[in-house]
Structure 1
């Protein structure tokens, strides 16, 4: 259902509000540059500082601007199961193709709670669900056995795996079946992830370098591992630099370096990246040939 380079879209804010015109232009640019899907209102999109109404509006704008050209996987996660369901219902009404649902954070449910959370969502919404496993942010992990149980649910179609454990790809393929869609949640690990059976990446770097990230995914999908390695080497410093300070500060700075029309406001508690981080981004952009 989903594959290739799928940016976890940053959200343009100007003077504290959502800049819809800038966002629509950004969506068009991403599609023109080869991105094969879009994820609005994820972590990189600063969803944690959006109201429910604003969150759902941004998803609707993304779906409208994409216009069916690529699928939209709407960020719908919450540590409150009822709020996650509310987001899913709004995303379905807006025409999103799937929901990206992060494991509940802060609450730290056990594996029974994880199963109950996702079963409740699937029982109450027909929207396909992409699990989002990112224990570095949520603390709790989706175990392989738990994921295998979730994969039996028809509307749970895959995972964005940001566990940082590339061996999980093989374990999850064996446990969940080859039809279960595995997308990397880490740009810097995407080459190994793809070689082990992944089919794409939900990417931060694609916000800045959509064409290079799309070409990298195409090389992997066609078995051009030499070409993929060359692109990995070209992009690797940027993958690292975009996390040289709290995200999405570095990525918003990087976008501003390649797109002068893009607003760079961040919502507290996120702040502008340090000078050292900005220097690292500049060097990485230069290495990638983007400036």
Structure 2
């Protein structure tokens, strides 16, 4: 496995990146059941040449729920190595297991990711308090900035605005990818 330098230390997690412009959620290309590393590198270069502001590796589009831990680490390392500091990388780290989410967040941090994208736990349908505690657990144990990911149509868990407000008070929570499809909800979150 290729190693990459760790991310530089920052005093304020939100100083690491601006969540603006166009970001591409990368696919994870496979060939014959294996990650196609050359294709992934080409994809990274193509997206950057196209002018994206940042990349998201191992999000839903990147098939993160189906990747083994070694595959996850390899994709994150390959993307960050390929980016070579040209744009920030957010690493999808969320799972339906809190400890695994923390482990993946730490992997992302060691690899040099600018932030971790934490999807709400899927399948088990935790309460709002459960969703809060899931993210809080990770936030208190790793100082990598976190971007919340609410996509209830895929997870069965819906992160409500009041819970977003509670989570926003945590130092490392710096943003949200709100994918409920509800424009009024997005407006409400912005007002928080």
User: TM-score, with normalisation over the residues of structure 2?
Assistant: 0.89
> Which of 122, 129, 132 is matched with 2:146 structurally?
129
Equivalent positions of 1:1-291 (< 5 A) are: 1-175=18-192
User: How far did 1:97 drift?
Assistant: 0.2
Question: What is the CA-CA distance between 1:139 and the residue it aligns to?
Answer: 1.1
| Deviations 1:168-209 (CA, angstroms, capped at 9, x unpaired) | 22211221xxxxxxxxxxxxxxxxxxxxxxxxxxxxxxxxxx
> Quick one: distance in 2 between partners of 1:56 and 1:80?
17
Between structures 1 and 2, the one with greater helix share: 1
Give 5+ residue unaligned stretches, structure 2.
Answer: 1-17
**Hey, what's the Cα distance between the residues in 2 that align with 1:122 and 1:129?**
7
SS at match of 2:118: strand
Q: Which runs of 5+ in 1 are unaligned?
A: 176-291
Task: Give runs of ≥4 in structure 1 deviating > 6 Å.
Answer: none
Q: Distance in 2 between matches of 1:59 and 1:140?
A: 26
Shift in Å, 1:25: 1.0
**Aligned-pair RMSD on alpha carbons?**
0.7
* 3-state SS of paired residue (1:53): helix
